Structure 1
């Protein structure tokens, strides 16, 4: 199976306990002039507002730690980690002007007609290819600009303005401040970083019921669901199994590769003979080397006994859990099968929702009660979550499951 790797940066948290009114003013860094109509929101939530004509804002925030995002066209995005119990009010937020010369002689210029060339790849990588993606639309694709490095075989994209995304499948209008998008073709590695603000759509009873059903479907088995179960130590009850996974390099294949690199090949009677250290190998040896070269570059060694939550998670403090492990975690959600779209795209993966996660820097992940975790840039998904964790299925941190009947 060919894995798609996804590194998604959506940052910190939102909680639902005691609330505080956050007050402040947004001004220009150089002139201290107020910035009207700036977006002020808690990252990856539906809690936000805009500044008035004097740059003033108020919003109701919960207790706990989260990212406060402030954005306005023509300015660098402001990202400030704050805690309701520690922050001094009112806030004064100073925005830095963006560099106007986005395309200089030093920076590779944007691709002309970039959306026509790379728009489909961007949508599949960012919005996804799930059934929900069919009802998820970026309204202002014209603000997305692309650069393609043929030397490094890497595609990058930026957005000159926040992306306006209508997700009619889940019932959200999302204002997404895209900071970085990178697709590495050779490794099939996606990284995108940004700050989403969710605004629930309004509709009649039938639409609200459909949105609630689709949100529940997107939630069950998701990374958000898993992180919440880790926090509550209900991994098994929620339908997940975890196993330790170690990727072992195929040492024999690596050895044969090195021999092939050093080998000289000559043609005798129409047949190719492999010579190692100047000595021709016999047919049995050649067959053996060919067999080894067809093997996988490595093997997955999976623990026989599933892990329990306490073996990888612990309390950092009274409101934060820590997730720490070595190598990889193999995570299976057992309460439903993978969507048909995933099975068609990855037929070798089978019907199970199987994901792998690894800590890139061996740093623990801190998890809040709502499933938000940080630093998300330290966690990489592969397998099912690399396919599923896209904008078409993304839920805000303040999402709550509907009550059961």
Structure 2
């Protein structure tokens, strides 16, 4: 039984359940029993968040089918957030094919300063006072009003792809014997250099803009929603709400999930 609720004031759909959701993934050869703790979708921001506990069972398969499953699992694992954090914990992210850059927030050069926008709109919208005299004579200039209203609606900042490579040693610190800690400003851009983005993915709304000379590698953006993120040796995140993904990792869902104890084939990422 699914407990579904929609908060119209927050434009948020939430789903919980006390029973396993059973998904048979015939692409990877798993029967997935997923105990969903919480699912949330905001129709205003289009942000999806879900958390739970997955349990994997192998589907019965012939040797030929099993071989296809193994190949598909390798593709699903490599370049994933699980792969990245596992390699980051081991100090081998560059060796495993990951390049880290920053996504900087810079002032939007096409937007006027906030005080200019507000003061101009106030002048345009000023109604006649008791004297019957409008500051701006005649009717409100709708074209001018539309221009400055659009200025107000424009984002104050834009994203800039920083070319400087971020060294993992400057990001990662020990938290305790079982956890490492990742803290940074701005957002991280993670390129996986050993796989190119598929044509199907590039046509989705998850695609991340990059400069024309940047290769068509799989690119993800990791935004911190808390002061830092703690992660385990197996690539698991201690608090999944501490990160918000854009790009390829946001595109990947349960269909691409492999067990946290998944062991990739030797040298399969080379």
TM-score, length-normalised on structure 1? Answer: 0.55
Residue 165 of structure 1 deviates from its aligned partner by: 0.9
What CA distance in whole angstroms lies between the structure 1 residues aligned with 2:24 and 2:204? 25
What CA distance in whole angstroms lies between the structure 1 residues aligned with 2:22 and 2:31? 7
Give per-residue Cα distances to partners, 1:254-311, cap 9 Å, x unaligned.
4455347535459xxxxxxxxxx93379999879747846854421244331011101
- Counterpart among 6, 12, 24 of residue 166 in structure 1: 24
- Counterpart among 206, 229, 232 of residue 87 in structure 2: 229
Partner of 2:136: 279
Q: How many residues align?
A: 251
User: Does residue 49 of structure 2 align to residue 191 of structure 1?
Assistant: yes
Residue pair 1:154, 1:182 contacting (<8 A) in 2 also: yes
Residue 330 of structure 1 deviates from its aligned partner by: 1.4
SS at match of 2:196: coil
- Counterpart among 217, 221, 236 of residue 356 in structure 1: 221
What CA distance in whole angstroms lies between the structure 2 residues aligned with 1:225 and 1:288? 47
Which structure shows the higher strand fraction?
Answer: 1
SS at match of 2:194: coil
User: Does residue 68 of structure 2 align to residue 210 of structure 1?
Assistant: yes
Partner of 2:236: 372
Q: Which runs of 5+ in 2 are unaligned?
A: 127-133, 210-215
Quickly say closer, same or farther: Cα 1:293–1:366, change in 2 above 3 A. closer
Partner of 2:118: 258
What CA distance in whole angstroms lies between the structure 1 residues aligned with 2:61 and 2:235? 27
What CA distance in whole angstroms lies between the structure 2 residues aligned with 1:206 and 1:179? 36
Residue pair 1:256, 1:293 contacting (<8 A) in 2 also: no
User: Does residue 264 of structure 2 align to residue 401 of structure 1?
Assistant: yes
Residue 347 of structure 1 deviates from its aligned partner by: 8.3
Partner of 2:180: 321
TM-score, length-normalised on structure 2? Answer: 0.79
Partner of 1:311: 170
User: Does residue 15 of structure 2 align to residue 152 of structure 1?
Assistant: no
Residue 316 of structure 1 deviates from its aligned partner by: 3.6
What CA distance in whole angstroms lies between the structure 2 residues aligned with 1:214 and 1:310? 32
SS at match of 1:210: helix
Partner of 1:392: 255
SS at match of 2:200: helix
What CA distance in whole angstroms lies between the structure 1 residues aligned with 2:168 and 2:189? 13
Q: Which runs of 5+ in 1 are unaligned?
A: 1-142, 267-276
Residue 172 of structure 1 deviates from its aligned partner by: 1.0
RMSD value, Cα = 3.1
What CA distance in whole angstroms lies between the structure 2 residues aligned with 1:279 and 1:323? 55
SS at match of 1:349: coil
What CA distance in whole angstroms lies between the structure 2 residues aligned with 1:253 and 1:188? 28
SS at match of 2:112: helix
Residue 404 of structure 1 deviates from its aligned partner by: 4.2
Quickly say closer, same or farther: Cα 1:310–1:299, change in 2 above 3 A. same
What CA distance in whole angstroms lies between the structure 2 residues aligned with 1:195 and 1:239? 28
What CA distance in whole angstroms lies between the structure 2 residues aligned with 1:348 and 1:190? 16
Partner of 2:59: 201
What CA distance in whole angstroms lies between the structure 2 residues aligned with 1:294 and 1:150? 23
